[in-house]
Amino acid sequence: ASAGKALAGEPPDVKKNHNESETKHQQDVETAGQSGEGGDGCKAKQGFRIGSWSEEHPFHLDEGNVQKREMNEPKFKLASQVTELNLKLESAEGVLRKQEEWESGVAMANSQLRETTSKRLAQIKDLVQDFAEKV
C-alpha cells in the first residue's frame, strides 16, 4: 500500500525504518509464495511449508472421522446404558407406586375392619349384659 513511500510529518529515522520494514515484508511475502524445496527438505506451497513427515503420513479426513467415531463410541454406549437405566428406574418407580397404593388400600381396609369389629364387640357386650340382667 505505502511501500517505498515516506509518511508526511514523520522524522527521517522513522521514515527510513518504515521503508525498511515495508521492503522486508515484501521480500518475505515473495519468498513464502514461491514453491520450492528449502535446505531442510521441506517444500513451500502457497506460503506454507510442508515437512517431509506430513507428506509421508498425510492426514485424511476419513482418519479424523474414524478417530471421532472411536471417541464417540464410549459416549454412545454410556448414553445407551443411561437410557436403559432410566427406563428400568421408571418401571421400578411404577411398581413402587402400585405397591404403595396397595399397602394404603390394605391399611384402610384393616382400619375399617377394626372399627366394625369394635362396634360388634360393643354390641355383643351389651347383649350379654342384657341377657345377664334378665336371667
Asked whether the beta carbons of 47 and 33 are under 8 A apart, the reply is yes
Cα separation, 135 vs 132, whole angstroms: 5
Can you give the pLDDT at residue 72? Answer: 85
Q: Is the pTM of this model over 0.85?
A: no
Cell of 36: 520450492
Residue 47: name the closest of 65, 60, 38, 34 by CA. 34
Can you give the pLDDT at residue 17? Answer: 55
Largest CA distance in the chain: 143
Alpha helices, DSSP H only, in 1-135? 12-33, 52-56, 61-134
* pLDDT (tens digit per residue) in 17-51: 555 656 665 665 555 444 444 445 555 555 555 55
Whether pLDDT at 54 is above 90:
no
Q: What is the rounded average pLDDT for all residues in the chain?
A: 75
